[in-house]
């Protein structure tokens, strides 16, 4: 039996990992304390910082990890007082001070993984590590941000998105100014192949800069959003540094296959529960890609031909409310069909049309 115990703040008694009998929520025995018991695996002690939320992500997770030499923060949650309080209280509950932190390791650049970086580095000067592709995104480099918007403008036009696409471009353009202050102020050091006791594994797909931190002895992997227990991770459509479209879902599939090859006991994710059977979950995720792609193929056979038509028919109401996510899903699965030679494409009046080979 494994001695791992995990708990979730503010959800006393709940099971964190529904599949593993031995991974059970276990709150700190200190009276009135809502923090998690540390998890000991191999040479690591892990202090989860998990804020439950009432939407589909379930929680925002980051992890303090001690390996006998360093105390690293893997990901930094969201920039909210609740999260900051949870972070500082977790430090204090287990006898640490913010000055004990050695560094911050980021799995990827998304806002819900970097929230506390500026607050922490305002107090202590410690290195912040991320994939080199994360740097222009974390710094919100104006040139890169504009290249990204220009990329989406052309993408949405070419996918036939019309007014909804234009609205999203206006939103992105305003967001450049509105979110300027969220740029990471500290210097960011590009990750090498190894950091502290972790191998750095590139697993792009959900985002181009996504990495996992793998500890061989403990057989654990901190993977951000590569693999999430309760939902499939969206392979978001993004441009590369030159503004070319990345085949995100194709990348995500190879990253999941890569993850599957690692002998892992536990995957610590950016959201939701600890995963104790990653191979089975990856199989499910990969099967689901095939199932969704087959459904899209049926829509194409029935006459839907642009990514936008397919998105509207497949997602209906959600198309309007979650437009960029929906388009990523659809375009990704269309790429999957194209790579597997199930559909062919043709540009008609500047818009890509998808046709079944059958």
Residue closer to Zn ion (CB basis): 7 or 224: 224
In the list 66, 75, 209, 225, the residue contacting Zn ion (rule: CB under 5 A) is: 225
Smallest distance, Zn ion to C-beta of residue 59, A: 13
Nearer to Zn ion, 160 or 204 (CB): 204
Q: How many residues bind Zn ion (CB under 5 A)?
A: 2
User: Tell me, what DSSP letter sits at residue 180?
Assistant: G
Pick 225 or 238: Cβ nearer Zn ion: 225
Does position 75 interact with Zn ion (CB under 5 A)? The reply is no
Q: Which stretch binds Zn ion (CB under 5 A): 76-84, 143-151, 225-233, 308-316?
A: 225-233
Q: Residue 110 CB, nearest distance to Zn ion (Å)?
A: 4
Give the sheet arrangement for strand 188-190, strand by strand. Answer: 39-41, 44-52, 59-66, 71-74, 103-105, 128-130, 188-190
Strand pairing partners for 61? 50
By C-beta, is 110 or 148 nearer to Zn ion? Answer: 110
Interacting stretch for Zn ion, rule CB under 5 A, among 2-10, 47-55, 148-156, 223-231? 223-231
CB-wise, 225 or 265, nearer to Zn ion? Answer: 225
Q: Of the listed pieces 85-93, 120-128, 164-172, 220-228, which binds Zn ion according to CB under 5 A?
A: 220-228
For Zn ion, which stretch binds (CB under 5 A), given 72-80, 81-89, 109-117, 171-179?
Answer: 109-117
Q: For Zn ion, which is the closer residue by CB, 100 or 240?
A: 240
Using alpha carbons, list the distances in angstroms from residue 251 to 311, 332, 335.
Answer: 21, 10, 11
Least separation in angstroms between CB 234 and Zn ion: 8
- Nearest approach in angstroms of CB 236 to Zn ion is 8
Instruction: Kindly tell me which of 228 and 253 has the beta carbon lying closer to Zn ion.
Output: 228
Q: Of 243, 136, 240, give the one whose Cα is nearest residue 183.
A: 136
> Least Å distance between CB 8 and Zn ion?
20
Point out which span in 6-14, 16-24, 103-111, 253-261 binds Zn ion (CB under 5 A): 103-111
In whole angstroms, the minimum distance from the beta carbon of 154 to Zn ion comes to 24
Instruction: Give the C-alpha separation, 11 to 27, whole Å.
Output: 9
Phi first, then psi: give them for residue 73, nearest 5 degrees: -105, 115
* Token pair of 355 as six digits: 């046709």
Structure tokens at 12: 């006393």
Give CA–CA dist 256/204, Å, rounded. Answer: 9
Q: Kindly write down the DSSP assignment for every residue of 73-128, as one continuous string.
A: EE----SSHHHHHHHHHHHHHTT--GGG--EEE-S---HHHHTTHHHHHHHS---E
For residue 248, the minimal CB distance to Zn ion (Å) is: 12
Q: Report the site for Zn ion in 19-58 (rule: CB under 5 A).
A: none
> Look-up: residue for tokens 């989406």?
152
Nearer to Zn ion, 160 or 270 (CB): 270
Q: HSE-up of 146 (CA within 13 Å, CB side)? A: 2
Contacts of 30 (CB under 8 A, 6+ apart): 93
For β-strands 351-356 and 343-348, DSSP reports them as antiparallel
Q: Out of 58, 109, 110, 278, which residue is the one contacting Zn ion (CB under 5 A)?
A: 110
Write down the least CB distance from residue 185 to Zn ion, Å: 21
C-beta nearest to Zn ion: residue: 110
Residue with tokens 């303090």: 64
Q: Residue 107 CB, nearest distance to Zn ion (Å)?
A: 8
> In this complex, which beta carbon is closest to Zn ion, that of residue 128 or of residue 310?
128
User: Do residues 245 and 352 make contact, with C-beta atoms less than 8 angstroms apart?
Assistant: no
At 158, list the tokens.
């070419």
Which residues of the shown chain bind Zn ion in the complex (CB under 5 A)? Answer: 110, 225
């Amino acid at each position: 039996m494994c001695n791992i115990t995990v708990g979730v703040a503010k959800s006393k008694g709940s099971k964190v990992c529904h599949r593993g009998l031995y991974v059970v929520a276990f709150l700190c025995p200190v009276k009135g304390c809502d923090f998690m018991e540390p998890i000991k695996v191999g040479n690591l002690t892990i202090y989860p910082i998990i804020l439950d939320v009432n939407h589909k992500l379930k929680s925002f997770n980051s992890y303090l990890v001690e390996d006998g030499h360093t105390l690293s923060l893997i990901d930094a949650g969201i920039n909210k007082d609740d999260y900051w309080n949870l972070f500082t209280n977790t430090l204090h509950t287990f006898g640490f001070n913010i000055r004990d932190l050695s560094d911050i390791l980021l799995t990827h650049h998304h806002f819900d993984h970097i929230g506390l970086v500026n607050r922490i580095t305002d107090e202590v000067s410690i290195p912040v590590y991320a994939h080199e592709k994360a740097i222009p995104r974390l710094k919100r480099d104006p040139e890169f941000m504009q290249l990204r918007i220009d990329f989406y403008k052309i993408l949405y036009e070419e996918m036939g998105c019309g007014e909804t696409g234009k609205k999203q471009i206006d939103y992105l353009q305003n967001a450049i100014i509105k979110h300027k202050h969220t740029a990471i102020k500290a210097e960011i050091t590009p990750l090498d192949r190894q950091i502290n006791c972790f191998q750095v594994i590139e697993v792009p797909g959900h985002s181009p800069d996504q990495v996992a931190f793998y500890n061989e002895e403990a057989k654990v992997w901190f993977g951000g959003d590569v693999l999430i227990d309760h939902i499939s991770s969206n392979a978001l459509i993004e441009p590369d540094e030159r503004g070319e479209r990345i085949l995100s879902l194709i990348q995500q599939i190879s990253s999941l296959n890569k993850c599957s090859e690692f002998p892992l006991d536990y995957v610590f994710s950016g959201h939701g529960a600890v995963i104790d059977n990653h191979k089975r979950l990856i199989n499910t995720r990969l099967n689901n890609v095939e199932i969704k792609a087959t459904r899209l193929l049926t829509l194409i056979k029935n006459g839907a031909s642009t990514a936008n038509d397919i998105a509207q028919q497949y997602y209906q109401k959600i198309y309007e409310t979650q437009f960029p996510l929906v388009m990523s899903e659809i375009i990704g699965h269309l790429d999957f069909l194209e790579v597997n030679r199930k559909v062919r494409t043709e540009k008609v009046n500047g818009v890509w049309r998808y046709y079944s080979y059958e």
